[in-house]
Structure 1
Amino acid sequence: MAPWNGLWGGRAAIAGGNAYRDMPVIVKMENPNWSISEINGGGDNGEDFLARVGGQRRRVKNTKQITWVFRLKAHRAAGCLARLTSAAVALGGTARRRVVAGRTDSDAADGECEDVEERDPASRRSRFYTLIKACLMMSVFLLVVELAAYSNGRVNLAIFINSFNTSWIRFRATYVAPPLQLLADACVVLFLVQSADRLFQSLGCFYILVKRIKPKPLSPALADAEDPDAGYYPMVLVQIPMCNEKEVYRQSIAAVCNLDWPRSNFLVQVLDDSDDVATQALIKEEVEKWRHSGAHIVYRHCVLREGYKAGNLKSAMSCSYVKDYEYVAIFDADFQPYPDFLKRTVPHFKDNEDLGLVQARWSFVNKDENLLTRLQNINLCFHFEVEQQVNGVFINFFGFNGTAGVWRIKAVEDSGGWMERTTVEDMDIAVRAHLKGWKFVFLNDVECQCELPESYEAYRKQQHRWHSGPMQLFRLCLPDIIRCKIVFWKKANLIFLFFLLRKLILPFYSFTLFCIILPMTMFVPEAELPDWVVCYIPVLMSFLNIVPLHRNHSRLSSHTCSSRTPCQLPSSMP
């Protein structure tokens, strides 16, 4: 460091002598890491001056340096927190992907994910989920133990819990119970209305069973299909709309091509709406095989895909050759009709010019697969055995199920054809046909095989499609219902029973009452539900839902013992 000269005047230094001249004075701070000052000077008061100046500079430097130290520490802490947050987010994303995929790093590294999932996907995911749940429960338990140990001796838990409970009871009785009781009363009223509707429908089904009411064709029995001139074999167009149906397209095409009907009197339209080129090639190849075997079948694919199923059917009905056909039968890709399906449905149209639709019921090949399929079977058996049959017998109207039905083409055209305005195109065309005066017939003894969704995800998607469109359709059809010329009681049935009660109130109240309000009343005793709402009426409704299932089982048993058995669908061409 350069020598320090003349800080407090040269004269004083000369008068005072040369005692401090050229003598280095070193002042060290308390913290040696901060600074060292070398001072060359003289004077009698040099030591006092150095002590005073050093103290001032030390205080200034101490304040600034402490500030910068704290800023540096805060910067490091922020960086560490950011890194921890990023790592936690990445770890959470990885854990979520593993939970969804049900795999580990070793499977992904070895490229064996697909093989492992094919071998035992359910057990692997079950074990993985069990491990995650166990770790979560252990973490919560340890957290409770730590909180209890931390508060031991500091907080009187008994007094705290008692005070919290008293406050919660007061808040619950004042603010929670009144609105909950009001909502519960409203749901109870809706529950009673819906229960009365189901009770009357069940009584109507019982009346049909006792009186043995059964729709019968006005024409005599059909003659042999090998001689079309000897009987009533009108021209029938059979449509199979499908979209990316890799698993079931062979079975559905085979079932339709094996229908017991003169080959020259029906044409099969395979309406492929797939966006997968490989699937399109497979379906087209299957159609070509059946065409070479003598079946009247055509493959149709729309380049401009719009309107989903309704758009697909609308495009197919615009073909020029459709005018040569009188009826159209529709089967979804996962439906497999029996060979005598047309023989048991088409004769109902003869000499019955007001009949627009003949609907068959569904039967399920996988109804005993798991608990979900069993519950669906119970629900759908009530739908077909009670709802569809009663409405078909007494008012000649019900919702078209979208498949396993035969339409008079004139009724479809008179109703305005297929429309893409809603996701429930089947219900839409049924309502419009009913407003035009067309009648419907439901055949409870004619079945068409299909499959039920076996997973909750597939079931959820199906129910979303079925329940997302009726209210939109009601909004669109309400002006037409009011202006149409049908009798008043049919208008009331459409508005209050068909739409409001069964399409809006039923899904709303059933979930709200039994999944939200009923569990909440267990924790809010001020809001009460009558015992007959919680126990007696649900037991009666459950009994009414199960009875059609057992009747259907007995009918199926006698039906299976008869000569008519389900067709054995080949996996390839005959």
Structure 2
Amino acid sequence: MRARAAYLGPALQFLTNACVVLFMIQSADRLILCLGCFWIKLRGIRPVPNAAAAAGNGNGKGSDDVEAGAQEEGDFPMVLVQIPMCNEKEVYQQSIGAVCNLDWPRSNFLVQVLDDSDDAATSALIREEVEKWQREGVRVLYRHRVIRDGYKAGNLKSAMNCSYVKDYEFVVIFDADFQPQEDFLKLTVPHFKGKEDVGLVQARWSFVNKDENLLTRLQNINLCFHFEVEQQVNGAFLNFFGFNGTAGVWRIKALEDSGGWMERTTVEDMDIAVRAHLKGWKFLYLNDVEIGFWKKFNLIFLFFLLRKLILPFYSFTLFCVILPMTMFAPEAELPAWVVCYIPATMSLLNILPAPKSFPFIVPYLLFENTMSVTKFNAMISGLFQLGSAYEWVVTKKSGRSSEGDLVALVENEKQSKQLRVGSAPNLDSLAAKEELYPKAEPKPKKKKHNRLYRKELALSFLLLTAAARSLLSVQGIHFYFLLFQGVSFLVVGLDLIGEQVE
């Protein structure tokens, strides 16, 4: 008891106070972002190409029709469209078809299907799809790398080294599970006109299965806040935000000036965005307001130090370590407003861009704290360049969309102006290609099992034990928080949420 009062209590209280200070700084940053988003909505700030702005009132609130007057004769620059993929057997057909149907003069855009698949059958299917669109007159090329050096960044770098790239002014990147609307290029490329310092135009994207289950609903809350608040405010007032890795249009000159894609990292989208920003290139998300001072301060402090380092550190330390430890060391006190009221307020602000998600505010708060372990682990791996920092995991795609998305896809197919060839691949040709590859003997199927996540299970034990301690000491608010948070960690630790693995 004396050692606890003399050493453990003061040390824990010091760490508690430090985390509370960081917590207040991050909460202030979140509040400022929300106020900035409110100001943008109030003032009606929106992106307008120069040609359309001239037709408007000149204050950034031009015509509602962004395309009006923006696409005149000669206003269709050369655009390179890239679709990097790896073993995307479930989604390759939809993505290639959507990109090949983009409403842009066919002579002015080229599609590169960048296939890094190591599965021969999948590569044959993708090649067959490309050949189908080539027969329809679309300028689309198939590229396959045998050695996947650099993963996605290496794939993009290899494609940019092609000799014909010099004939193009812009490059658009779509991940394999993205299906852009036909007018995507007409809504994005005009924003570069007359703005030679703009290097990137980033479009917003969303999940088609956001309402499928609780997990997708919770993830959609973060996605909505990211685009509606973070990207919008940073783009409008600071001219910088993180490239989302897809659904963005780059000026090729900006990529080259920034040193191009680097294989040194698996977060190539953030890497190229930072280097381009430090070179003076501006990014446009929803508006291009000319407020460019204190650029490096924002980049170093607000963007990296606060949002990428402080946030994962304090959320993990405060709610997963300090709070349960205070149940065993009452000499250190953690105010109830830090545990309950401020986090609830911040969660409300996060949910504002997705108002339909208000019923899920409690699961969302628990989910965010549970995910802080993963974020904290990623931060440590990246800072100290641990082995997991260079690990590349390709997310498995389900290959299906929501019911409404499928209905819309069918309607678009019916209304398509182009004569479409049957989407089924040429089976004879495919069979001939597969003969080149020896077929391995089928492996016996393994039963699906749940993985056990040791960190989450250990934290679950700590939190549930602290909850029992809190109940005995009659600390009501702490008890309920620790109980529900401990159960959340237990569910994740036992892999009871999401898809089981083989």
> TM-score range, shorter-chain basis?
0.5 to 0.7
* 1:287, distance to aligned residue in structure 2 (A): 0.8
Between the aligned partners of 2:69 and 2:294, the Cα distance in structure 1 is 43
Give the residue type in structure 2 aligned to 1:420: E
Contact 2:228 2:353 in 1 (8 A): yes
Aligned counterpart in structure 2 of residue 503 of structure 1, from 303, 308, 331? 308
SS in 1 for 2:33: helix
SS in 2 for 1:260: coil
Structure with the greater relative contact order (CA < 8 A, sep ≥ 6): 1 or 2? Answer: 2
Show the 5 A alignment for 1:157-306: 169-170=1-2, 172-220=4-52, 222=67, 230=73, 232-306=75-149
Give the residue type in structure 1 aligned to 2:129: E
* 1:272, distance to aligned residue in structure 2 (A): 0.4
SS in 1 for 2:147: coil
* 1:520, distance to aligned residue in structure 2 (A): 2.5
Between the aligned partners of 2:329 and 2:98, the Cα distance in structure 1 is 57
Between the aligned partners of 1:178 and 1:324, the Cα distance in structure 2 is 66
Between the aligned partners of 2:122 and 2:161, the Cα distance in structure 1 is 24
Cα displacement string for residues 80-110 of structure 1 (whole angstroms, at most 9, x for unaligned residues): xxxxxxxxxxxxxxxxxxxxxxxxxxxxxxx
What is the aligned partner in structure 1 of residue 159 from structure 2?
Answer: 316
What is the aligned partner in structure 1 of residue 299 from structure 2?
Answer: 494
What is the aligned partner in structure 2 of residue 40 from structure 1?
Answer: none
Between the aligned partners of 2:29 and 2:257, the Cα distance in structure 1 is 32
Unaligned runs of 5+ in 2: 53-65, 359-406, 414-420, 425-502
After superposition, the Cα gap between the structure-2 partners of 1:572 and 1:396, relative to the gap in structure 1 and judged at 3 Å, is: farther
Contact 1:219 1:348 in 2 (8 A): no
Contact 1:184 1:513 in 2 (8 A): yes
After superposition, the Cα gap between the structure-2 partners of 1:552 and 1:533, relative to the gap in structure 1 and judged at 3 Å, is: closer
The worse-fitting range, judged by mean Cα deviation, of 358-367 and 514-523 is: 514-523
Contact 1:245 1:333 in 2 (8 A): yes
Equivalenced residue count is 352
What is the aligned partner in structure 2 of residue 517 from structure 1?
Answer: 322
Between the aligned partners of 1:239 and 1:284, the Cα distance in structure 2 is 15
SS in 2 for 1:358: strand
Contact 2:110 2:139 in 1 (8 A): yes
Q: Indicate whether 1:334 and 2:177 are aligned.
A: yes
After superposition, the Cα gap between the structure-2 partners of 1:388 and 1:552, relative to the gap in structure 1 and judged at 3 Å, is: farther
What is the aligned partner in structure 1 of residue 235 from structure 2?
Answer: 392
Q: Indicate whether 1:573 and 2:423 are aligned.
A: yes
Contact 2:206 2:223 in 1 (8 A): no
Give the residue type in structure 1 aligned to 2:350: N
The worse-fitting range, judged by mean Cα deviation, of 277-286 and 398-407 is: 277-286
Give the residue type in structure 2 aligned to 1:501: L
Between the aligned partners of 2:68 and 2:235, the Cα distance in structure 1 is 28
* 1:519, distance to aligned residue in structure 2 (A): 2.5
Show the 5 A alignment for 1:430-441: 430-441=273-284
SS in 2 for 1:244: coil
* 1:177, distance to aligned residue in structure 2 (A): 2.5
Please tell me whether Structure 1 or Structure 2 has the larger radius of gyration of its CA atoms.
Answer: 1
* 1:222, distance to aligned residue in structure 2 (A): 4.7
* 1:191, distance to aligned residue in structure 2 (A): 0.6
For normalisation by structure 2, the TM-score amounts to 0.66
Between the aligned partners of 2:182 and 2:38, the Cα distance in structure 1 is 30
Give the residue type in structure 1 aligned to 2:325: M
Contact 2:238 2:292 in 1 (8 A): no
Contact 2:171 2:250 in 1 (8 A): yes
Show the 5 A alignment for 1:7-22: none
Between the aligned partners of 1:395 and 1:412, the Cα distance in structure 2 is 20
Q: Indicate whether 1:354 and 2:197 are aligned.
A: yes
Percent of pairs with identical residues: 76
RMSD: 2.5
Contact 1:223 1:230 in 2 (8 A): no
What is the aligned partner in structure 1 of residue 349 from structure 2?
Answer: 544
